[in-house]
Amino acid sequence: SSQNFSEEFAEAARQLKKEAPRIQFGKIDVTHQHDLRKEFNIQAFPTVKFFVNGSRKDPIDCKGVRKASAFITWVKRRTGPSTVLINSTDQAEAIIKADDLAVIGFFREPHNDSVEVFCETARDVPEMPFGMTASEDVCANYGIQKNTLVVFKKGKPVHHEVLEDGRQNKLVLARIIKTFTLDLVTEYNIETSVKIFDVPVENHILLFTPMNSETFDAIYENYKSAAAEFRGKILFVLVNTDEPRNGRIFEYFRIRDIDVPAVRILNLTSDAKYKMPADEVTVENLKEFCQSYLNGKAKLHLSSEEIPEDWDKMPVKVLVGKNFNNIVF
């Protein structure tokens, strides 16, 4: 909520006042400040913008940061180095083990675009520590041959992303990294729903299934296998159909008891829904569905009720999704 956000923002201001007094925090209620709202193109609330060197032009947008600790890191990485320089394996281990998650950039050739992209990505992901190294010994210790970004979770490497020469898309890298704040498959519930929508991946796939069924374990393993392949591109969510509190989601996707297990993809931006064409929840079917969706080949799923028997008895015909095309066009 805005109130909660306001408190976190104030807490960040309090802490930074001691550490970096040059950085000033302010807030504006733009309800009556129409000129300011127009000048800075404020569309949503709350919006945070960072003004650098006393200039009103081109402030930096601070998006998706909600906690005071992340605010502080975000500001520090904008005003100073965004990553810690690592010179020894001990130093690397200390960073990797200090938090649940850590991101390390290993660079065999330190002077190229991928270093810059890595540092820019670190600025956009203030939720976790970033370190970088060009030390031969450190790279050798982790078996790194090429310029590589490695995500560590609970001290273990969980993702390797080779940083090619040339400018990689830092938004894509940031998305991939942020998905590690969630499990590979996230079960939907009241607590996780906020986290799910906080991760900046607009494509969500949902598996609707009863978790107490005999086939659950096999289906879940298949789902997890497919999830590993599409990390950062599609967010894999599990919806337990035994849980009465999930009723609203079934309604939204028009899922009935006879449909489960069912798999749907939702695009958050357009609100478009897609149904997996195959009935069996196999790794092969899931991968094919996800790939066809990413290639723009998946068919839109227009939920429809059954055609009423007396749809054409009256002068005004009754149309539903299933007979709409035939009758109208």
Q: Each residue of 8-18: pLDDT tens digit?
A: 999 999 999 98
Is the pLDDT at 320 greater than 80, yes or no?
Answer: no
Mean pLDDT of 81-104: 96
pLDDT of residue 112: 76
CB atoms within 10 A of CB 38: 10
Q: Provide the edge-to-edge strand list for the sheet that holds 148-153.
A: 84-85, 130-133, 101-106, 148-153, 156-162
Over the stretch 119-159, which tens digit does the pLDDT of each residue have? Answer: 999 999 999 999 999 999 999 999 999 999 999 999 999 99
What single-letter amino acid sits at 3?
Answer: Q
Q: Which of 309, 310, 305 is nearest to 322 (CA)?
A: 305
CB atoms within 10 A of CB 204: 19
Is the pLDDT at 62 greater than 80, yes or no?
Answer: yes
Residue with tokens 């590979």: 184
What single-letter amino acid sits at 18?
Answer: K
Q: How far apart are CA 20 and CA 13, in angstroms?
A: 10
Over the stretch 263-273, which tens digit does the pLDDT of each residue have? Answer: 999 998 888 99
State in Å, rounded, how far the first CA of the chain is from the last one: 46
Structure confidence at residue 258 as a pLDDT band (50, 70, 90): confident
**54 CB-contact burial (10 Å; exposed 0-12 / middle 13-18 / buried 19+):** exposed
Is the pLDDT at 217 greater than 70, yes or no?
Answer: yes
Q: What is the mean pLDDT of the chain?
A: 89
What single-letter amino acid sits at 305?
Answer: E
Q: What is the pTM of this model?
A: 0.76
Residue 103 phi/psi, 5-degree rounding, is: -125, 125
pLDDT of residue 131: 97
Q: What SS3 class is residue 92?
A: helix
Q: Domain segments of the chain: what residues?
A: 1-79, 84-179, 183-295
For domain 183-295, the CATH superfamily is Glutaredoxin (3.40.30.10)
Highest mean pLDDT among 60-69, 162-171, 225-234: 225-234
pLDDT of residue 304: 58
Structure confidence at residue 212 as a pLDDT band (50, 70, 90): very high
Q: What fold is seen in the domain 84-179? A: Glutaredoxin (3.40.30)
pLDDT of residue 100: 94
For domain 1-79, the CATH superfamily is Glutaredoxin (3.40.30.10)
Q: How far apart are CA 238 and CA 243, in angstroms?
A: 12
Q: How far apart are CA 28 and CA 36, in angstroms?
A: 9
Q: Do the first three CATH levels of 1-79 and 84-179 match, i.e. the same topology? A: yes
Is the pLDDT at 215 greater than 70, yes or no?
Answer: yes
pLDDT of residue 280: 95
Mean pLDDT of 291-311: 81
Q: Which of 60, 69, 64, 50 is nearest to 9 (CA)?
A: 69
What single-letter amino acid sits at 312?
Answer: D
Greater model confidence, 192 or 102: 102
Q: How far apart are CA 226 and CA 282, in angstroms?
A: 9
Q: How far apart are CA 240 and CA 207, in angstroms?
A: 8
Is the pLDDT at 303 greater than 70, yes or no?
Answer: no
Q: Which of 151, 138, 146, 142 is nearest to 163 (CA)?
A: 146
Contact 2, 46 (CB under 8 A): yes
Residue 167 phi/psi, 5-degree rounding, is: -85, 115
Mean pLDDT of 287-296: 96
Poorest-pLDDT segment among 5-9, 193-197, 288-292, 308-312: 308-312
Contact 231, 181 (CB under 8 A): no
Q: What SS3 class is residue 32?
A: coil
pLDDT of residue 141: 96
